Amino acid sequence: MAPRNKEQELEVLTWIFDVLGEKVPSGQYEDILKDGIWLCKLINKLAPGSVKKIQERGTNFQLMENIQRFQAAVKKYGVPEEEIFQTADLFERRNIPQVTLSLYALGRITQKHPEFKGPTLGPKMSDKNERSFTEEQLRAHEGQLNLQMGFNKGASQSGHGGFGNTRHM
């Protein structure tokens, strides 16, 4: 498990509440996010109507449903499944760094949604940069490879005792 990074956690919280247009509440990072309410509000701001029902209070099971609804919504939004944290990572604090990485992934994916004009989180995604080469350009390096491959002439491992050599001189 990766160590926690307080700077990244602060950056994530700042981003979430900038997107929501609200002040960051006081408290610990994991406590603010634990019940999934803010996360559901976030994805609803990014993709309106993503989470139909947000449990504002209730049993642990009901609050965990918020996290599960958030996870389903961010997957639909485009965050790769392998980058989405598990419910227990947040709710039971099993892997808070993974929660942070997941939220960075969500921040990254917002850049693929031109309808979202809000603040960004993390580095800017690169644009597709396709290159096309002519057959002549593709073949130009073939001669160089052949020169490199013949470079080890005369090198051998004969005389190298290896690991299994038990004879002593």
Answer whether residue 127 is part of any domain. no
What pTM was computed for the model? 0.72
Residue 152 lies in a domain: no
Q: Which residue has the tokens 């808070």?
A: 96
Number of domains in the chain: 1
Which tokens go with 21? 């247009």
DSSP letter assigned to residue 85? P
CA distances from 155 to 145, 149, 158, 159, 162 (A): 19, 13, 9, 11, 16
CATH number at residue 16: 1.10.418.10
Residue 65 lies in a domain: yes
Residue 86 domain-assigned (yes or no) = yes
| Residues 101-126: tens digit of each pLDDT | 999 999 999 999 988 888 888 766 55
Please indicate, yes or no, if residue 121 is contained in any of the structural domains.
Answer: no
Residue 124 belongs to a domain: no
Is residue 153 domain-resident? no
Range of the domain at 88: 11-111
The answer to whether residue 106 is domain-embedded is: yes
Model pLDDT, residue 116: 87
For 127-167, write each residue's pLDDT tens digit: 555 666 677 766 766 665 555 555 555 555 565 555 555 55
Instruction: Tell me what pLDDT residue 144 has.
Output: 59
